Amino acid sequence: MVGERPVYLALEAAGGLRWGVSEIRAVQVQALTKRFGAVTALRKVSVRFRGGAITALCGPNGAGKSTLLAAVGTVLTPTSGSIEYPPLGTDRRGVRARLGWVAHDSHCYGQLTARENVEFAASLYGCRSASTWDRVASRVGAEELAGRRVDTLSQGQRQRIALARALVHQPSLLLLDEPASGLDVDSVERLEQVLREERERGAVVIVVSHSTGFIERIADEERRLDRGRLAQ
């Protein structure tokens, strides 16, 4: 993920997160610039993502979509500009407590089982219970994967586990980078249903995808990036 540690490793290093913080109702990005040495990945991007909506980030490879997602997800620090999360303001720790993330790479722990990966994520948020696995596995169609080590799973199966892990704490900000990658038709339909459910729950949902059909079916709004700028 643009050179940064997976978000769950960042959460682990933080020593766990507080449960019961305020819900994120929107994300306001203002004049955001991000440079990596001589390369400028984002150039004064200003955009608002609202709760209760699915927003698609579109654009060609290298446009800055994953960089913007990582900045919103608090694992990249902007070179300049700001990101606010009403009503939390700029409280990064508070944001992480309400953040669910599905990266292009699942970042699951290969030597743990599917169930252990999900229960470990739940423990970071202080919401682990005997029903955690059953609740999220049924939503993503992963019940039969419970006892299998993640390093034995296909890409699509790992993506299902990553999605289950992202949902354990009922996040109010859900970020997804190519979430349909490797999924079969039935799994894509289940993913779309989950995203619609999260939208109805009021979450801020931001999706990066190159699949125009997927975007057309699920997105309420589209924001297009081109060479690090927001297209008008």
* pLDDT one-digit tens code per residue, 164-185: 999 999 999 999 999 998 889 9
Q: What is the pLDDT of residue 126?
A: 84
Whole-model pTM: value is 0.89
What's the pLDDT tens digit per position in 53-109?
A: 999 999 999 999 999 999 999 999 999 999 999 999 999 999 999 999 998 888 899
Give me the pLDDT at residue 48, please. 97
Tell me how far CA of residue 50 lies from CA of 107, 114, 150, 188, 208, in angstroms: 27, 32, 34, 24, 16
What mean pLDDT, rounded, does the chain reach?
89
Q: Which residue has the tokens 């900045």?
A: 71
Among 162, 36, 173, 203, which residue's Cα sits nearest to residue 97? 173
* Number of Cβ within a 10 Å radius of residue 28: 14
Record the tokens describing residue 13, joined without a space. 């290093």
Residues 84 and 64: their CA atoms lie apart, in Å, by 19
* Angstrom distances, CA of residue 230 to CA of 30, 32, 58, 211: 12, 10, 10, 19
Of the listed ranges 26-30, 123-127, 215-219, the one predicted with least confidence: 123-127
Model confidence band, residue 22 (pLDDT cutoffs 50, 70, 90): low
Query: What structural domains and CATH numbers belong to the chain?
Result: 7-16+27-230 (3.40.50.300)
CA separation, residue 107 to residues 37, 48, 192, 197 (Å): 26, 28, 21, 24
Which residues neighbour 120 within 8 Å (Cβ) at sequence distance 6 or greater? 109, 112
Say what the pLDDT of residue 106 is. 83
Per the model's pLDDT, the better-predicted residue between 14 and 226 turns out to be 226
| Average pLDDT score over residue span 2-17 | 43
pLDDT tier for residue 3 given thresholds of 50, 70 and 90: very low
| Collapsed DSSP state (helix, strand, coil) of residue 13 | helix
Confidence of residue 2 (pLDDT cuts 50, 70, 90): very low
Per-residue pLDDT at 181:
85
pLDDT at residue number 232: 67
Q: What pLDDT, on a 0 to 100 scale, did the predictor assign at position 139?
A: 94
pLDDT band at 6 (very low <50, low <70, confident <90, very high): very low
Look up residue 57 and give its two tokens: 């980030």
User: Worst-scoring range by mean pLDDT, 45-49, 198-202, 210-214?
Assistant: 210-214
Does residue 131 surpass a pLDDT of 80? yes
| Mean pLDDT, residues 205-215 taken together | 93
Q: What angle, 0 to 180 degrees and rounded to 10, lies between the N-to-C axes of helices 132-140 and 114-124? A: 120
Average pLDDT over residues 133-156: 95
CA-wise closest residue to 219 among 199, 201, 202: 199
Burial 121-160, CB ≥16 within 10 A → b, else e: bbebbeebeeebbeebbebbbbeebeeebbeebeeebbbb
pLDDT value at position 4? 40
